[in-house]
Chain A
């Protein structure tokens, strides 16, 4: 377990002064992930909010080596970095024990980058892939992704007069990754920092590819006041919309189990992106979303019991 005092005393690897929105979840995640790393790290980022706000030339928020290539290829780019590391280490040109972290948003991970991610894991590159999942294409102005929840308003799944936001459920990317049998996979969120830091350390210690799907509340796209980021993040866990669990060696483990499972409406009502659902002619969208959440949560409970 990480101690807050120790973490706070570390040299910052992801520094302030960047251009994220006030209350941005992605920036908190980048900082927490790098704080947790005990070895020197090399970082890659896909095109997206994090890349844009952290590296506007001539400034950089990264105190670690960093590469941005394109939108859909951070997994392949970091696979190349890790392959070069193995080659040069074998030849004695690199002495240090390094770790590699790829950051992608849900657009770069769930959608356009899923092929490269799948390839990276299948080939067993020892890279930690972190998806900072803000559940839409926030960088380009809040368009739907396959991580956007059912019912959410986005600019390409707007709350209209006949269609109330996004019609489809979220893709369960964590389970898709788990089907690849990675060395470690987990879901985390910034509100539970200790859980997140512990998972990053486990992922970086695992000898093989690892994956963290980290819920990243976005005050702009989710439409809530910027000081509420941590509260929203915690409510996603308490309502079981975003279960915190891990998968390693064939075993599931729920790492934070809410004392009392709150109805999803507690989470939905905090955010403007779901406001239209409460004014909708019927309760079908909310009911179906709750059913989806219950189904996934109950399945997870069973899987963790078996483990």
Chain B
């Protein structure tokens, strides 16, 4: 069925069709709508879910842990400060290997307080042991929400699927919905090896783990992250085979014959694709790489993509506050350390606090990349694009 939906509506629709056992959530701009719409589904009897309207995001994540440890299929939704408030429990959920899916809307972290898009919230949680998938549009957000539930349950790792605040969360788009009956069929029942509710086989979950065992347990969690890419690929393929929409780990656009490329994530991927078209009309060989799966970082696929061009402009919607530029830039540079084919690289930090990025601005970035190609030198590694005083 083809409908018009905002990103938030599309994610809420996916949650309705998934029909989780437990949703524990707390509203926060700009993800409030997801929680509101889902509450309505509960009160209208459209889902069987036990909805727990908690008193904070900290409790939301905590309740999700308890429910997931009990064998339930569990989801929540949040943004920005809400994710920051969950921060402590994010690590615990991953350490206890509890599959939980967060429908997240990327919004900048205070201060200054702001409700618009950047990626500082999820970037601050990138080391928590959660899968992170950034989507470009409402369709991808909807599809990925469904996929992520399956990936998380198979990998026994929690995951975050995100959209860009307002740009996607509130933008109305064409979305193709899957038939209600097909979503539960695609997901199947959650398979549970251990449950807190199995009173005949009691387990102790979350014991104190000291010098003699902690490291092995943490290592097994790291291994789970090391081994999850094939699971992600498998679920994406199953989804594509069934519903016709295939997603890559790393989204490449007109890259094969490109001389220069932009590496970006989230909704700007869509804007940049238009810029690519325009540049190509002018005969300029530009391409695009979009990091869809960010945690785990897809080292091989990303190295391959980056190595195809001479110059890469990495666009980050967050800064590491370390003098080293943005998160994606640092990851991309790091994986190329041993590569024989290292493109020149420049980091463009842009759009913090929701500052708009236009097609023309991205075209200007491409022009800068051509200048670098010509001179063979990067004048300045990290620049702040579209900010006063730069």
Contacts and interface: CB of A to CB of B under 8 A. Distances in A.
- A and B bound? yes
Interface stretch (A73-81, A186-194, A214-222, A242-250): A73-81
Chain B, interface size category, equals: 35 or more
B21 interface: yes
A52 interface: yes
B337 interface: no
A114 to B, nearest CB: 11
Chain A, interface size category, equals: 35 or more
Contacts of B213: 57-58
B169 to A, nearest CB: 26
A74 to B, nearest CB: 8
B95 to A, nearest CB: 10
Interface in A66-104: 66-70, 72-73, 75-88, 90-91, 93-94, 96, 98
Contacts of A118: 55
B320 interface: no
Interface in B186-221: 195-199, 202-210, 212-213
Interface string A27-54: 0000000000000111010000001100
Contacts of B196: 42, 65-67, 81
A84 B198 CA distance: 12
B270 to A, nearest CB: 36
A87 B208 contact: no
Contact of B70 (A72, A84, A116): A84
A83 B48 contact: no
A101 B334 CA distance: 48
B207 A94 contact: no
B206 A68 contact: yes
Interface string A115-126: 110110011000
B32 interface: no
Interface in B21-57: 21-22, 24, 48-50, 52-56
Contact of A79 (B52, B71, B89): B52
A66 B205 contact: yes
A290 interface: no
B55 A122 contact: yes
B66 A76 contact: yes
A55 B209 CA distance: 8
Nearest to B213: A57
Contacts of A65: 195-199, 202-203, 205
Contact of A87 (B21, B59, B65, B195): B21
A2 interface: no
Contacts of B88: 70
Contact of B66 (A56, A60, A81): A81
Given A76-B54, A85-B70, A116-B55, A69 B204 contact: no
B208 A80 contact: no
Given A65-B198, A70-B88, A119-B55, A84 B71 contact: yes
Given A77-B63, A83-B63, A98-B199, A60 B50 contact: no
A64 B208 CA distance: 17
Contacts of A83: 22, 24, 50, 52, 63, 66-67, 72
A168 interface: no
B273 interface: no
Interface of B: 21-22, 24, 48-50, 52-56, 58-60, 62-72, 74, 88-89, 92, 195-199, 202-210, 212-213
14 contacts: A42-B197, A44-B66, A51-B208, A55-B208, A60-B204, A69-B92, A70-B88, A83-B52, A84-B66, A84-B70, A91-B48, A94-B197, A119-B54, A119-B56
Interchain residue pairs A-B with the least CB separation, the first 5: A80-B66, A80-B63, A119-B55, A55-B207, A84-B70
